[in-house]
Amino acid sequence: MRRRFTEEIRIEDARGTLREACSPLGADVNFNHYSILPGFTDVHVHLREPGFSYKETIASGTKAAAAGGFVHVLSMPNLDPVPDSIEHLMIQEDIIRRDACVGVHPLGSITCGEKGDKLSDIEGLAPMVAGFSDDGVGVMDDGLMKEAMERVREAGSIIVAHCEDTRFPRESREAEYRQLDRDLELALQTGCPYHMCHVSTKESVQLIRVAKKAGLDVTCETAPHYVTLSNEDILDDGRFKMNPPIKSRADQNALLEALTDGTIDMIATDHAPHSAEEKGKGFAGSAYGIVGLETAFPVLNTRLVREGVLPLARLTELLTEAPNQRFHIDHRLPDDTDPNPTFTVWDLEHPYQIDPEHFLSKGGSTPFKGWEVYGKCIMTVVNGKVVYQR
C-alpha cells in the first residue's frame, strides 16, 4: 500500500527498492539509521540561465537542488532573454533538456521583458509553463494586471506574483501588502488563480487569511529566512540582503503562526545566486538575493521541527504535497509497485555546520553560514536514477 505523501519512512522499510535503485553505487551501501523522505519541490528558484551564467547555470543550480533534496524546481523568468514568447522560452528549454538533473518547470513572464508595459504571449506560453510571474518586480499598472489575470484564467494557468509597490520604500511593509491587497481585489473580480511569492509581513498574512475565507483561489509561500530570522539578526554583510527584506520579530511570529494554521501553503527558497563580488560590498552595496537550495531543509528541520514549532510531517507537506498539488507536479514515494521511484535519503541525527565552501551552487551567500544544523542529504534519487550522493 502506498504510504501518505507526508509520512516519514524508516529506510529499512524499503530496503529492496533502495538496493535496486542504488545498484550503480555497489552492494556495500549501508542505509541503516537513515530516513527516507519524498523529494522536495521548490516553486521559487533563480537558475540564471540563459543570460547570467556567471551567477548560476541550469547544471550547477539543479545539482545544488539535488544536494538539498529537491527533485522539482520552478525557474523564475528574470533571464536574458525573458521567456515572454515561445521562441525565448525554447532557449531555456534546450538548456534544461541538456543539463538539468532534476525536474525544471519554467515560469513565463507576465509582461514582455518584465518591463510592465505590454503583456507576454500568455496564450501561446500557457501550455508550456508552470505559470506567469514578473518576479523581481511588481506589475504596477492596475489595468494591465487585470487584463493579465483575465487572460491567464482563460488560458487555464496561474499568476505567481512578486508583490512590490514601488511607491513605497522596498524595506517597508507597505511595499508588499499594498500591492497584494490590489491583486486580491483583481483576483476576486477575474476569478484568476493567484499565488503570492515570498510572504514576509504580518499584514500580507492577514490579507491571505481573509481572502481564503472568502473563497478566493489563492495560495502563498514564504521562505526559510523569513521564518528563522528577523531584522534584529541582520549584520552589515551582503549575505543578509534579499528582496523582500527580512522584517521584524512580530512579522516572523505571524509567519510561523500562518504555517501552523495553514494560511501559508508552502515554503520556497527564493534561491538567488550572485557572484562573490556582487555580494561582497557590505549590506548596503550588495545585490539583492541569497542562495537557499542546499540549506532549506536542514535549517527548517533544525529550527522548526527539532524545536517543536512544526512536526516533520507538516514540514514535509509544505515542501512536497502542497506545491505539487498547486502546480500540478507528480512524483511519488517508493513502494513495491514503482520500479522507478523518486525519493531522498537523510541523516537526521548528526549535526554539522553549514559551510558555503561545500555548496554545489555557484553562489555562496547565505545568512545561515556557520549554523549548526540537523538534516544532511545523503542521496537523491529521481525516477530510479541517483542524481546526488554525498
- The pLDDT score that the predictor gives to residue 33 is 76
- The pLDDT score that the predictor gives to residue 20 is 56
- The pLDDT score that the predictor gives to residue 11 is 42
Which residues lie across from 386 on neighbouring strands? 381
Q: How far apart are CA 229 and CA 225, in angstroms?
A: 6
The alpha carbon torsion through 61, 38, 255, 263 (nearest 10 deg) reads 120
Phi, psi of 108 (to 5 degrees): -85, 160
- The pLDDT score that the predictor gives to residue 36 is 92
pLDDT tens digits for range 235-265:
999 999 999 999 999 999 999 999 999 999 9
- The pLDDT score that the predictor gives to residue 4 is 34
- The pLDDT score that the predictor gives to residue 152 is 98
- The pLDDT score that the predictor gives to residue 341 is 85
- The pLDDT score that the predictor gives to residue 309 is 97
- The pLDDT score that the predictor gives to residue 159 is 98
**Which contiguous run of DSSP H or E holds residue 202?**
helix 202-213
CA gyration radius, the chain: 20
Distance of CA 85 to the CA centre of its chain: 24
Instruction: Output the nine-digit C-alpha cell for 163.
Output: 508583490
pLDDT tens digits for range 281-316:
999 999 999 999 999 999 999 999 999 999 999 999
Q: How far apart are CA 158 and CA 153, in angstroms?
A: 7
DSSP state letters, 97-142: HHH-SSEEEEPBPSBGGG-SSSB--HHHHGGGSS-B--TTS----H
Hey, how many other C-beta atoms are within 10 angstroms of the C-beta on 358?
12
Q: How far apart are CA 327 and CA 5, in angstroms?
A: 16
Length of the chain: 390
Phi, psi of 91 (to 5 degrees): -60, -45
Helix (H, G, I), strand (E, B) or coil at 322: helix
Residue ranges of the chain with per-residue pLDDT less than 50: 1-15, 24-28, 333-336
Domains, the chain, ordered by start: 9-389 (3.20.20.140)
**Residues annotated catalytic, as ranges:** 270
